Chains A and B, each alone.
Chain A
Amino acid sequence: TGEAEAARAAMGGSASLLPREALGEYQELTFLSKQEILLAYKRFSELLPKEERENACSARVPKSQILTLPELRANPFQHRICRVFSTSGNGDDSMSFEDFLDMLSVFSDSATSDVKSHYAFRIFDFDDDGTLDRKDLEKLVNCLTGQGEESRLSHAEMEQLIQNILEESDIDKDGTINLSEFQHVVSRSPDFTRYSVLQ
């Protein structure tokens, strides 16, 4: 009703909607602080249509809505991120509140490098086969340099680049990068933890 909504808005909204035990549980299971979880709840419920905001914890937000978030809007890996973090069984990449929290937790400041590199591997694995082969690397580089014909590297440059990457990271020389090799090479990368933080 109108008065109930006004009262909730006056009290600051989200704090009264998210039950305390759930808040404590999420604090333990993710790397987010209490403030961050409450803020995430507020933003998630704003993505839902008004009628579904009551039980935001169990609602699912379609992918098109998720992609309107400012953090994901400009990100070239937006589709992969939605695919990796979504737990929806029918492949439509919709995200529940817990998926959303998972995503924010992995990209937060306090997440361990282990967890970040594990998810980064899954995001970069475009064909979901458990390894990064040449096609995955090619798609990855094209994502980085931007969509559009003039922003892609030439074929020769791409070959040279992929050859260099495999030389540096493919330890068992099988032409693909598996999870352990990826985590090993990323653990020595000085920029990885700095850049993989969403604000």
Chain B
Amino acid sequence: EVFLPEEARGATPVDFLQQLPSYQSALRRRATAGTQDRRAASQDPAGLRAAEGHGLQQEGDEVAARPAREHPLTIAEKRRLRYCQQADIKYLSGWKQWKRTSSKSLKKVLSEVKELSSYLELWRHDIHSIEGKFGTGIQSYFSFLRFLVLLNFIIFILMFGLVTLPSIISKYGMFNSSFAKIPPKNVEPHCTVYEPSGNKGLVYFYTYLKDLLSGTGFLEVTVLFYGYYTIDAEWISIQKYNLPLAYLLATFGYLALSLVWIIKRSVGGFKQNLVHNKDPFQSYCNKVFAGWDFCITDPNAARLKHRSLQYELQTDLEEERLKRKIADRTTKEKLRIYSLRIFINIIVIAVLSGCFYSIYRATVFSQENSNVSIRHDDVSNMNFQANLLVQYLPSMVITLANFIAPQIFSFLIRFEDYSPAFEIRLTLMRCVFVRLANIGVLLFSLWSQISYCATDKCNACGYNYELYPCWESEVGQEMYKLMIFDFIIILAVILFVDFPRMLLVTHCSCKPVQWCGLQEFGISDNVLEIIYGQTICWIGTFFSPLLPAIATIKYFIIFYIKKISLIHTRKPAARPIRASSSNFFFLVVLLIGLLLAFIPLGISIAHIPSSKACGPFRNFNTSWAVVPHTIDGFPTGLRQVLYGIASEAFAVPFFMVICLIMFYFIALAGAHKRVVEQLREQLVMVRFDPLFCSPKV
């Protein structure tokens, strides 16, 4: 018989496996004595010494043998291995001995530092306990929330340190500081009139409440909004500080920081996507070999996990059968399904247009009526509640649209006959689009109001100076109202919907109530909610520099409220979302939100004329104009370099070089894939090739 004993046959495929690119890169990270030695060591403890010696010989002069604990052996065997390693150290030269001991002590120090720093992590214990009780899918939502709290806090520190603090210092004359307000030149005087009402004299108590909720009145003149920063230059004990430039650069800074941080966090999931040629998050091996969540300690949670694993596997198998069925469809059926899908997509677009139009009308109505009563001091026109209602009308319409549209989408998708996984993804994408586009429509309608100019006087300013002398503060107020309303809605839903429902289900045992049951913790809905809030924060921070602080406090409170709601009023989801795929999905949607936030900010900064009556950009045409102005003040050489970088002569070759680099990496990835395929084929052939079947010496 040509066929050989088990061990040798098992040994030869291993050599080919070692040539796979993924294995090579893992090898590069650690010096190893080779898989054969490890296998020999694990199966034959007495051969340890031989294995280690062989390993050392193989490496030649290399020092880094693996530490004992990385070998998969029992403690007694590891002790013996360590003894052998230490005995062998005597045979190494002094330099290598010192290298080994120093690397060991360095590793010890690093592990101590890591242990200490893990105590500083926010909410470590809370997220730990959530993971134990509810699994890693829901835990990823709370980790995401923690990430947003930290991000908002850092953005707040950035804006506060660069913009708010210097303004406060110079306004109150601390540290020998002074400021200068340069009168605007080349501007019609009527554009520069801005008198925020503040609160003069005796006012009713509810005025303060109204101001707090809508950002008008006494809040309008505080640090919270753009209008406060009407300083052109400051001197903090003889050092000149260019506030307009700092304001603009801080804005770019926080956007860049968010972008880099999110990309860094999502790189891990993206790498998996690129290396795998199949869909990595749905592969069967991942579900079976890494299926059981070892954190689960509760028998109830274990039972649920069993059921969800069974459901997941059955759904995947069914989906595969469905895919085969779809491939067998006739042309007539295909035509029918495609026309049905086109029809349903038209309905979806109609629903979206309905939402956008209602938001537009609500914004216009709200702006017209609140302006009438506030600008002309016509308080008697409306009472307190009606005024507040009108102020919050856009927010209410947006929240309503965000609630209704997803229900409609999940109803419609059933008719489109997609596979279940694709159904979920498409519905999610549509919901994401609705939420983010609603903010865009709100801003668009605001701008159409702001830049609507009927008279010549108005055209001279470039924006509607009568109604919006300080339009950036207006936009800031709208963003502030959106954020406050979002927070109120989250609290209200938990207090007035979830808790009564839980009480009803626990205490009332009639059939329909029990059939309704508790609601599941919908991870995607919750995540979309907080991403919507974060997008508002990103857009609004330019107009209201303290908004990130409000966002930090808001998410901080939401963490605890959601945790309590989860523990007491929710039942775990029947349909599981895997932690790895959900992490990547959250970050991709967050990135989409950030990129969508660039658009309104870009238009505000570069296109719309800045208001001439308030803010640090009074003396410039647009907010962006401060950058060319500063560059003009640089020495000639530097100025020419900067202009050169911005010109076409530099941009086109730069773009071509970037394309070349990208093509190189794509070709490299393709070449690696081909190598993998070839090696796989070779492995199969090796089994039957008599040349390779000869026993190794």
Contacts and interface: CB of A to CB of B under 8 A. Distances in A.
Nearest to A132: B289
Contact of B297 (A28, A73, A114, A160): A73
A115 interface: yes
Contacts of B76: 87, 98
B683 A172 contact: yes
Q: Which of A124, A160, A182, A189 has the most CB of B within 10 A?
A: A189
B306 interface: yes
B26 A185 contact: no
A182 B309 CA distance: 21
Interface string A127-146: 00011000001001101111
Interface in B367-410: none
Contacts of B286: 189-192
Contacts of A26: 75
Contact of A33 (B111, B295, B313): B111
Given A180-B35, A188-B280, A194 B306 contact: no
Interface string B20-54: 10110010000000010001001000000000000
A153 B294 contact: no
B299 interface: yes
Given A70-B297, A188-B272, A105 B69 contact: yes
B152 interface: no
A79 interface: no
Nearest to A106: B72
A165 B275 contact: no
A184 B132 CA distance: 28
Contacts of B68: 28-29
Contact of B295 (A28, A77, A137, A199): A199
A173 B681 CA distance: 10
B673 interface: no
B291 interface: yes
A172 B686 contact: yes
A180 B580 contact: no
A130 B660 CA distance: 48
A14 interface: no
B299 A87 contact: no
Interface stretch (B10-18, B193-201, B471-479): B10-18
Interface in A75-90: 75-77, 87
A192 B69 contact: no
Interface string B289-313: 1111111111101110011011001
B317 interface: yes
Nearest to A140: B288
Among B13, B289, B296, B314, the one with the most A-chain Cβ atoms within 10 Å of its Cβ is B289
Interface string A57-77: 000000000000011011111
Interface string A37-56: 00000000000000000000
A197 B289 contact: no
Interface string A87-103: 10000000000110110
B269 interface: yes
A191 B283 CA distance: 11
A187 B26 contact: yes
B320 interface: yes
B284 A164 contact: yes
Contacts of B278: 168
Contacts of A143: 292
A119 interface: yes
Contact of B14 (A70, A161, A180): A180
Contact of B684 (A119, A165, A172): A172
Contact of A194 (B115, B132, B299, B580): B580
A21 interface: no
Nearest to B686: A172
A191 B580 contact: yes
Contact of B578 (A172, A174, A182, A191): A191
A189 B39 CA distance: 22
B93 interface: no
Interface residues of B, number: 73
A17 interface: no
A87 to B, nearest CB: 5
Given A188-B22, A199-B132, A173 B72 contact: no
Nearest to A115: B72
Contacts of A101: 75
A143 B307 CA distance: 11
A151 B275 CA distance: 35
Contact of B294 (A75, A178, A184): A75
A145 B567 CA distance: 25
Contact of A102 (B75, B82, B276, B301): B75
A94 to B, nearest CB: 14
Contacts of A173: 683-684, 687
B568 interface: no
Given A161-B317, A172-B13, A180-B17, A29 B296 contact: no
A197 B272 CA distance: 21
B505 interface: no
Interface in A144-199: 144-146, 151, 153, 157, 160-161, 164-165, 168-169, 171-174, 178-182, 184-192, 194-199
Contact of B70 (A114, A141, A168, A189): A114
A184 B111 contact: no
Contacts of B291: 144, 195
Contact of A157 (B296, B298, B314): B314
B579 interface: yes
B17 A196 contact: no
Interface in B305-363: 306-307, 309-310, 313-314, 317, 320
A71 B297 contact: yes
A25 B687 CA distance: 45
B210 interface: no
Contacts of A194: 136, 290, 579-580
A124 B290 CA distance: 11
B25 to A, nearest CB: 10
A190 B281 contact: yes
A158 to B, nearest CB: 9
A28, A31, A74, A190, most chain B CB atoms within 10 A: A190
Contacts of A195: 136, 290-295, 579
Contacts of A130: 6, 10
Interface in B90-114: 111
Interface in B399-432: none
A172 B17 CA distance: 10
A197 B71 CA distance: 18
Given A31-B69, A112-B70, A107 B317 contact: no
Contacts of A77: 292
A78 B514 CA distance: 35
A196 B296 CA distance: 11
A136 to B, nearest CB: 11
A197 B187 CA distance: 67
Contact of B306 (A107, A151, A189): A151
A30 B72 CA distance: 10
Given A119-B72, A194-B136, A199-B128, 11 more contacts: A77-B292, A99-B74, A143-B292, A144-B309, A145-B306, A160-B320, A172-B687, A181-B17, A182-B289, A186-B285, A191-B286
13 contacts: A74-B298, A87-B76, A98-B74, A110-B111, A115-B71, A143-B292, A165-B284, A171-B684, A180-B13, A189-B289, A191-B290, A194-B580, A195-B291
**What are the 9 closest A-B residue pairs judged by CB atoms, nearest first?**
A146-B306, A190-B580, A74-B302, A118-B72, A145-B310, A192-B290, A191-B290, A98-B75, A70-B297
